[in-house]
A and B are shown apart, each in its own frame.
Chain A
Amino acid sequence: GAVVSQHPSRVICKSGTSVKIECRSLDFQATTMFWYRQFPKQSLMLMATSNEGSKATYEQGVEKDKFLINHASLTLSTLTVTSAHPEDSSFYICSASDRGPGTDTQYFGPGTRLTVL
């Protein structure tokens, strides 16, 4: 089946620093990738849709200048949390869309747990 990887799996950083998270589709090409955030005991909330070769589309309430998304190739999207603060601590999960005849399935990466001190 389709595999999506994320790196790093866990990161701890100081307040004010920037953190980059990579999301890769390993065995298929994904023109569209998605970034989600999940707080403890809560559901996944979509942050943005990342389209290869174009600007990301952000959900209402998500600051595009704080959460920079780049989708430079059909297998790689990156999320950079700029000037991170403790309230940005969360579990960040990416997904990649694998479209085919009769299917449009999203496959999820293992997630990145960000802790901002």
Chain B
Amino acid sequence: GIQVEQSPPDLILQEGANSTLRCNFSDSVNNLQWFHQNPWGQLINLFYIPSGTKQNGRLSATTVATERYSLLYISSSQTTDSGVYFCAVELKTSGSRLTFGEGTQLTVNP
């Protein structure tokens, strides 16, 4: 089956720093989404980005589908950015089923 690998697994930052999270996937995809899971478990949609670049405030994401990777950029990080960031992909043949990576645990210290 498809493999989704995220790096780094853990990341500790000082408030104000920038970071880049990476998601590699092993097959062609129809859909790629980035989520932030907050400490209470709620998954918050960040981006629907099967290809191209999108920006939303301090966050931006780029997916290069032909090279099978996606990047999530967090600029000027805040303590509220802490949590787990997941990338999830949908295979072209999987009928909307998402496969999640293992996530990146981000801790932003004041």
Contacts and interface: CB of A to CB of B under 8 A. Distances in A.
Q: Do these two chains really belong together in a complex?
A: yes
Interface of A: 1, 32, 34, 38, 42-46, 49, 91, 93, 95, 97, 103-108, 110-111, 113
A105 B97 contact: no
A105 B103 CA distance: 19
Can you list the 9 inter-chain pairs with the closest CB atoms, starting with the nearest? A108-B43, A111-B41, A105-B48, A43-B100, A44-B100, A110-B42, A43-B102, A97-B96, A104-B31
B88 to A, nearest CB: 8
B99 A32 contact: no
Contact of B98 (A34, A38, A42, A111): A34
Q: At the interface, is chain A mostly helix, strand, loop or mixed? A: strand
A31 to B, nearest CB: 10
A103 B42 contact: no
Interface residues of B, number: 22
B99 A46 contact: yes
Nearest to B4: A43
Nearest to A31: B96
A111 B42 contact: yes
A38 B88 CA distance: 14
Given A34-B97, A107-B45, 8 more contacts: A32-B96, A44-B43, A44-B100, A93-B41, A108-B43, A110-B40, A110-B42, A111-B41
28 contacts: A1-B45, A32-B96, A34-B96, A34-B98, A43-B101, A43-B103, A44-B86, A45-B100, A46-B97, A46-B98, A46-B99, A49-B96, A49-B97, A93-B43, A103-B48, A104-B30, A104-B31, A105-B31, A105-B48, A106-B33, A106-B88, A106-B96, A106-B98, A107-B45, A108-B42, A108-B43, A110-B41, A111-B41
